[in-house]
């Protein structure tokens, strides 16, 4: 983030935030030496900061001792916000019904610093299924749910989110992402083969708060030999569930 317009400085706090943001972007635990190199600071500057973050439960060493990773502490803090807590409380009963109707798992996704983060999930009601863990993060442009979240935002919000995307993202990839988002907004749903797991097709619908997406409700559809519902059936049920959750949010907000 640019320092432009920053009125006050708190160097120690900024170093701690830099560490957390760096670790959050890593696909695997990162060593102290790698953190020092990536942030361009000395070991002495960061060692005690890392020790404090570990003591307070925000980061932990991996099981093999090869590096540091985030714990669920930050996610827990975020999910304790009244708006997020209310969203999950309204969504989960309907998500359980959706899982029972479709025989597929489903999960709820929000935006976080240019990424999607899973804040709730319900397992498949079938004997076997595929699900995504709570706390899972991926770059927003790489996902169907991220495309949908982006699609249902104001132009100003979309511009702000784009600043958080990988600076190395080619211009043609960004243009393609914008086109997919425009199509998703037109039909109010999105579908694509998973780029993460072979054999899975992700389908997603927006959970709206007003005219903007507060979250995206997603099914990672798996085609079994004896699938309870077709992909088209599941998509229709998913859209209905997302609309009902949106209605629940509207009702809840009107009581505040």
The per-residue pLDDT for range 55-113, each reduced to its tens digit, is: 898 889 888 888 998 887 777 676 666 667 889 999 999 999 999 999 999 999 999 88
Nearest to 68 by CA among 111, 16, 131, 123: 16
**CA-closest candidate to residue 151, choices 113, 208, 219:** 208
Between CA 124 and CA 29 the distance in angstroms is 30
**Listed range (11-15, 61-65, 224-228, 244-248) with the worst mean pLDDT:** 224-228
Average pLDDT over the chain, rounded to an integer: 87
Q: How big is the CA angle at 150 (ends 231 and 133), to the nearest 5 degrees?
A: 55
Residue (of 75, 77, 177, 74) closest to 118 by Cα position: 75
Average pLDDT over residues 174-201: 91
Q: What angle do CA 56, 63, 124 make, to 5 degrees?
A: 90
**Among 207, 204, 230, CA closest to 218:** 204
Task: State residue 1's pLDDT score.
Answer: 45
Q: Indicate the pTM of the whole model.
A: 0.76
Opening angle at CA 28, ends 23 and 30, nearest 5:
50
- The mean per-residue pLDDT over the stretch 47-57 comes to 90
229-256 mean pLDDT = 89
* 256 pLDDT above the threshold of 60: no
Please check the confidence at residue 5 and state whether its pLDDT lies above 50: yes
- Distance between CA atoms of residues 165 and 114, nearest Å: 5
**Predicted local distance difference test score (pLDDT) of residue 245:** 96
Contact residues for 2 (Cβ-Cβ < 8 A; gap 6+): none
Higher pLDDT, 137 or 204: 204
Contact between 238 and 217 under an 8 Å Cβ cutoff? The reply is: yes
User: What pLDDT, on a 0 to 100 scale, did the predictor assign at position 220?
Assistant: 94
- Asked if 170 and 181 touch (Cβ cutoff 8 Å), the reply is no
Mean pLDDT across 142-167: 92
**Quick one: pLDDT at residue 248?**
92
Lowest average pLDDT, out of 35-39, 46-50, 129-133, goes to: 129-133
Q: Check the CA dihedral 24-26-30-36 and report its sign.
A: negative
């Amino acid at each position: 983030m640019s320092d432009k317009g920053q009125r006050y400085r708190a160097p120690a706090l900024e170093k701690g935030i830099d560490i957390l943001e760096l670790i959050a972007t890593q696909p695997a635990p990162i060593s102290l030496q790698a953190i020092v190199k990536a942030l361009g600071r000395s070991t002495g500057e960061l060692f005690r900061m890392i020790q404090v973050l570990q003591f307070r439960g925000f980061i932990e060493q991996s099981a093999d001792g090869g590096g540091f990773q985030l714990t669920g502490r930050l996610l827990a803090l975020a999910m304790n916000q009244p708006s997020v807590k209310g969203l999950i409380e309204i969504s989960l009963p309907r998500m359980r019904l959706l899982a029972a109707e479709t025989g597929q798992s489903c999960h709820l996704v929000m935006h976080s610093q240019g990424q999607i983060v899973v804040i709730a999930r319900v397992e498949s009601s079938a004997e076997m299924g595929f699900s995504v863990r709570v706390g899972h993060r991926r770059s927003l442009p790489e996902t169907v749910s991220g495309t949908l979240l982006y699609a249902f935002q104001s132009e100003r919000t979309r511009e702000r989110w784009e600043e958080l995307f990988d600076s190395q993202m080619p211009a043609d990839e960004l243009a393609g992402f914008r086109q997919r988002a425009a199509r998703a907004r037109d039909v109010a749903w999105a579908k694509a083969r998973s780029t993460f797991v072979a054999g899975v097709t992700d389908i997603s619908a927006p959970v709206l708060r007003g005219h903007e997406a507060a979250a995206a409700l997603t099914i990672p559809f798996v085609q079994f030999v004896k699938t309870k519902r077709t992909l088209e059936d599941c998509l229709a049920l998913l859209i209905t569930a997302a609309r009902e959750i949106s209605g629940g949010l509207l009702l809840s907000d009107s009581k505040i």
